[in-house]
Amino acid sequence: MQRNFLVAFDCEKVLIDGEFFPSLANKLGKGKEVEEITLKGIRGEIRWEDGFYKRVEMLKGAPYETCLEVANSLPIMKGAKETIEKLHNLGIKTIMITGGFSLLANRVKAKLGIDFVSSNEMVFKNGKLAGAKLFVDSKKIAALSEIRERNNLKDAILLASIVDGANDLTLFDEAKLKIAFNAQEIVKRRADIVISEKDLRKILPHVEEVYFKYANAQI
pLDDT digits (tens, 9 = 90+) for 71-99: 999 999 999 999 999 999 999 999 999 99
Say which CATH number the domain at 112 has: 3.40.50.1000
- Asked whether residue 175 is domain-assigned, the answer is yes
Ranges of beta strands (E only) in the chain are: 5-9, 92-101, 116-125, 128-133, 157-163, 177-181, 193-195
Rounded to whole angstroms, the Cα distance separating 214 from 219 reads 9
End-to-end CA gap in the chain: 9
Look at strands 116-125 and 128-133 and give their pairing: antiparallel
Q: Which structural domain, as residue segments, surrounds residue 90? A: 5-17+76-217
Residue 59: inside a domain: no
Looking at the domain assignment, is residue 149 inside a domain? yes
State the pTM of this model: 0.93
3-class SS at 23? helix
Report yes or no on 33 lying in a domain.
Answer: no
Q: Is the pLDDT of residue 1 over 60?
A: no
Residue 199 is assigned to a structural domain of this protein: yes
Binned at pLDDT 50, 70 and 90, residue 33 comes out as confident
In a domain, 54, yes or no: no
Element (H, E) at 210: helix 204-217
Q: Tens digit of pLDDT for each residue in 87-130?
A: 999 999 999 999 999 999 999 999 999 999 999 999 999 999 99
Pick the closest to residue 82 from 112, 41, 110 (CA basis).
Answer: 112
Number of domains in the chain: 1
Number of separate helices (H) and strands (E) present in the chain: 9, 7
The predicted-structure confidence for 180-192, as pLDDT tens digits, reads as follows 999 999 999 999 9
Q: What percent of the chain has pLDDT over 90?
A: 81
